[in-house]
Amino acid sequence: MLILCYHAVSQEDEHLWRPGLYMPPAVLEERLRILHEGGYEVLALDSALQRLKAHDLPPRSVVLTFDDGGYEFFSHAWPLLDQFGFRVTVYQTTYYVSLQKPVFHLICSYMLWKRRGAEIPGGKALGLAPVLDLRTEQRREAIVQELESKCIADGATGAQKDELARELACVLEIDYQALSSRRMLQLMSAEEIKRLAHAGVDFQLHTHRHRTPESEGLYRQEIQENRRVLEMLTGRPANHFCYPSGVYRREFLPWLRAERVVSATTCDPALASADSELLLLPRFVDTSVKSAIEFESWLAGVGSLLAVRRAASQ
């Protein structure tokens, strides 16, 4: 069984900013059409896992998953999925669901990318170097890390972080209000999640703040807060999990079991089988940088075989 992973369907030029994560709606539509015309059986996650362990999967079984739960899922991805009648699971983080502001580190990274190649004065007002060097990806990401560290040191709230993002936009001469009004890099709202849950979208765990704490207490707290919000909004159990950014360690498994988590997906590329550890399920992360041929090779199982051979030769 192939579990497909999508992070986001792009608005505007996001797929150029982070091509390894975002994809244009036209590419997603092409993928869904391949599934439809190829006669693939797109299953609900919970049902698929039960049938996987029971050796009762239909041929050409596929599960569709989306990570994070950004607004673009509601605006761009869901209309396409609904058009094809495909079941889907969204691994939803929840902190920004109620805040309804752009995700801080993402919007900062995006705005710095928009001014890529430049050296811009005014950084001192943000507690940074006087001149912001935006000529390389490494330097831009270093600025994002500095801003994140500053927020942690100051104990900044979500609203205060958003104000800092506005100040960065001012320095960069970017219209922050225009980005916000288009819901750029925001999560779905509580009402949007309720609406999609009512329409049949399966919402599952992805931590409250998209974090991977190293202590058991904090790790489990992230899951507990995430579950509380999701179950309140959807009225359904949230017992399946996705590791944020695909980061996992073996010691996480007993923590997940203690939280009654049934399955957990990684970003490790392979096919899921009856022998797969349910708390370390593999997925194929599909993005706009992958060709339709590569996508179809994974559907046919060839891509997984090639990935195994490459891993064995390294």
pLDDT at 301: 86
Give the H/E segment covering residue 163: helix 158-172
Which stretches of the chain drop beneath a pLDDT of 70? Answer: 303-314
Beta partners for residue 75, in sequence order: none
The residue among 65, 60, 73, 56 whose CA lies nearest residue 8 is 73
DSSP state, residue 122: -
Residue 7: which region, alpha, beta or left (left: phi > 0; alpha: psi -120 to 50)?
A: alpha
Q: What is the pTM of this model?
A: 0.94
Sign of the CA dihedral with 292 first, then 303, 267, and 93 last? positive
pLDDT at 309: 43
In residues, how long is the chain?
314
Q: 90: helix, coil or strand?
A: strand
- pLDDT tens-digit profile of 258-268? 999 999 999 99
Amino acid letter for position 28: L
pLDDT at residue 314, as a whole number: 44
- CA–CA dist 102, 95 (Å, integer): 11
Q: Which two tokens mark 193?
A: 């999640």
Task: List Cβ neighbours of 17 (8 Å cut-off, separation of 6 or more).
Answer: 109, 110, 113
pLDDT given for residue 306 in this prediction: 52
Asked if residues 70 and 63 have their Cβ atoms less than 8 Å apart, the reply is no
CATH number, domain 2-98+187-313, options 3.40.50.300, 3.90.870.20, 3.20.20.370, 3.60.20.10: 3.20.20.370
What angle (nearest 5°) sits at the alpha carbon of residue 192, between those of residues 187 and 196?
115
- For residue 225, the model assigns a pLDDT of 98
**How do the domains of the chain map onto residue ranges?**
2-98+187-313, 101-181
